[in-house]
Amino acid sequence: MTDVFGLSHKDTGPGNAQVSHEQVVFCADERSGLRAIIAIYNTALGPALGGTRFYPYEDEQAALADVLNLSRAMAYKNALAGLDLGGGKAVIIGDPDRDKSEALLRAYGRFVQSLGGRYYTACDVGTYSEDMDLVARETPFVTGRTVAHGGAGDSSILTAFGVFQGMRAAAEHTYGTPTLRGRRVGVEGVGKVGHRLVGHLIEDGAEVVVCDVGEQAIERVRRRHPQVEVVAGRAEMVAQDIDVFAPCALGGSLDDATVAALRARIVCGGANNQLAHPGVEKQLAERGILYAPDYVVNSGGVIQVSDEIEGFKMERAQAKAAQIFDMTLKIFRMADEEGVPPAVAADRLAERRMSEVGRIRAIWLGR
Ligand SMILES: NC(=O)c1ccc[n+]([C@@H]2O[C@H](COP(=O)([O-])OP(=O)(O)OC[C@H]3O[C@@H](n4cnc5c(N)ncnc54)[C@H](O)[C@@H]3O)[C@@H](O)[C@H]2O)c1
């Protein structure tokens, strides 16, 4: 079956979108050059929250497919992060370096405002806290603003902290102790999230191996942590004798070749959409590799920015992100009990919360 956009319907977890989104809005403002799509997957738990990706998509169809996938993944991520938020996402079609302007961002803010609070936006690839400050001049439904404007600032702080909590849970499940001390961890991509994760790992006593396609990123991590070992790329990293592989670059790191070559017993990283295609979660399980589902362990960022809705407090947000440890452990145990990969257990748990907690809205409150 296909929907009005000609996309096929599948309903099997957040990796496969294109099903029953509540609302999809196309936004255009010719003078500023704005072309955007806002997708709300669901609002079962509250207003939809998800970032704005500013990216030079090949065409509108590619942008639409991406926003439908990403908004659905946000619903699952927000549900398991324990937030009273549904899933949404937006994409702006264009090259952020060339096309971004005050007028364009503010025009976009007007469209966010037109949804009346059904969708809260935030940063994503190609957008920054300063951009959210501009969007916020047209709508209050924005998070991830700069600290100077009362915002939560750089979300990679709690993203990395949360990934570290997920990794501690994976260590507990695998080795019976929640520490990475003495373990060898390979971090692919040492950008905003990856380099902070390296800091947590070194503090915990792990040995760290890194790779990155950007020289500056490598230089930064070397300056801060001279003891890290640098390797050329993912292939060299996964062929090494590492205990944990932490994908923190772009999506799709866990492809067939990587999974086949992987020597680590744990995969836990910050990148979104790590599984290159459906079925990889089974291959990992068959090889006895424990996979900490990406959207569970990288939810620290959305926990950080969503705290802004109440008036941002880092301490409160960090306490919430610390719960990623318990949630990850719960998913591993549920996966064992139900005989399914952790990615499947996570999807089931998220769907349960959306349905059980979302359902209470049906209780009549009187006039
Ligand atoms: N920033 C957040 O709060 C946040 C929250 C949730 C998920 N994520 C996800 O985490 C990942 C990293 O995000 P970020 O904010 O650190 O981005 P970033 O752009 O700061 O860092 C990404 C790093 O990966 C490197 N890289 C790109 N391709 C690579 C490759 N093939 N091999 C090795 N390194 C490569 C880049 O050079 C860069 O240093 C992304 O997948 C993002 O979607 C980020």
Instruction: Kindly give, in sequence order, each residue whose CB lies less than 8 Å from that of residue 294, ignoring residues fewer than 6 positions away.
Output: 247, 269, 270, 271, 272, 273, 274, 275
Residues 304 and 175 grouped into a single domain:
yes
Q: Which amino acid is at 6?
A: G
Please tell me which residue in 10, 77, 89, 313 is annotated as part of the active site: 89
Collapsing DSSP to helix, strand or coil, 259 comes out as: helix
C-alpha 290/C-alpha 269 separation (Å) is 12
Give, for ligand 1, the residue of 77, 188, 192 to mutate: max count of ligand atoms closer than 8 Å to Cβ: 192
Query: CA dihedral in degrees (328, 334, 339, 342; nearest 10)?
Result: -20
Determine the atom of ligand 1 nearest the C-alpha atom of 155.
Answer: 3
Question: From the CB of 155, is ligand 1 less than 6 Å away?
Answer: yes
Q: Quote the domain boundaries for residue 66.
A: 23-72+86-147
Residue 250, token pair as written in the block: 């772009």
d(CA 355, ligand 1 centre) in Å = 32
pLDDT score recorded for residue 7: 40
Same-domain status, 348 and 270: yes
Residue with CA at minimum distance from ligand 1 atom 15: 192
Beta bridge partners of 186: 209, 245
> Ligand 1 centroid to 271 CA: how many Å?
6
Q: Across-strand partners of 188?
A: 211, 247
Output the CA torsion 53→58→61→62 (10° steps).
-50
Q: Is the distance from the beta carbon of residue 186 to the nearest atom of ligand 1 less than 6 Å? A: no
Indicate which atom in ligand 1 lies nearest the CA of residue 298: 6
What are the tens digits of pLDDT across the range 146-198? 999 999 999 999 999 999 999 999 999 999 999 999 999 999 999 999 999 99
Any ligand 1 atom below 6 A from CB of 299:
no
Q: What's the pLDDT score for residue 14? A: 54
Residue type, 67: V
Mind listing the pLDDT tens digit for each residue in 78-106? 999 999 999 999 999 999 999 999 999 99
Q: How many CB atoms lie within 10 A of CB 195?
A: 23
* CATH of residue 58: 3.40.50.10860
The CATH number for 190's domain is 3.40.50.720
User: Does residue 294 line the site of ligand 1, with CB under 6 A?
Assistant: no
347 lines ligand 1 (CB under 6 A): no
Domain contains 313: yes
What is residue 367's predicted lDDT score, i.e. its pLDDT? 82
Residue 204 in any domain: the answer is yes
C-beta 193 within 6 A of ligand 1 = yes
pLDDT in the model for residue 1: 34
**Strand 184-188 to 244-247 pairing:** parallel
User: How far apart (Å, rounded) are the C-alpha atoms in residues 128 and 54?
Assistant: 10
What pLDDT is recorded for position 348? 97
Same structural domain, 190 and 323: yes
Question: Is residue 162 within 6 Å of ligand 1 at its C-beta?
Answer: no
Residue 79 lies in a domain: no
319 C-alpha to center of ligand 1: Å? 24
Q: How many domains does the chain have?
A: 2
Ligand 1 midpoint to CA 78 (Å):
20
In whole angstroms, what is the distance from residue 222 CA to residue 216 CA?
10
Rounded CA-CA distance 121/279 in Å is 31
Measured in angstroms, how far is the CA atom of residue 156 from the centroid of ligand 1?
10
Domain membership of residue 105 (yes or no) is yes
User: What is the Cα–Cα distance from 353 to 348, expressed in whole angstroms?
Assistant: 9
In the chain, the N- to C-terminal Cα span, in Å, equals: 41
Same domain, 180 and 137: no
Q: Is position 359 within any domain?
A: no
Nearby residues of 179 by Cβ (< 8 Å), 6 or more positions away: 168, 171, 204, 205
At 19 the pLDDT is 57
Q: Determine the Cα–Cα distance for residues 160 and 246; give it in Å rounded to an integer.
A: 11
- What residue has token string 């006039």? 367
Q: Which of 300, 354, 250, 361 is nearest to 13 (CA)?
A: 354
Residue 315 located in a structural domain: yes
Residue 349, helix vs strand vs coil: helix
Question: Which pLDDT value is given to residue 20?
Answer: 84
Give the residue from 100, 116, 147 where a domain finishes. Answer: 147
Phi then psi for 243, rounded to 5 degrees?
-90, -35
89 assigned to active site: yes
* pLDDT less than 50: residues of the chain: 1-13, 15-18
Determine the distance separating the centroid of ligand 1 and the alpha carbon of 364, expressed in angstroms. Answer: 45
273 lines ligand 1 (CB under 6 A): no
Question: What is the enclosing helix (H) or strand (E) of 96?
Answer: helix 96-99
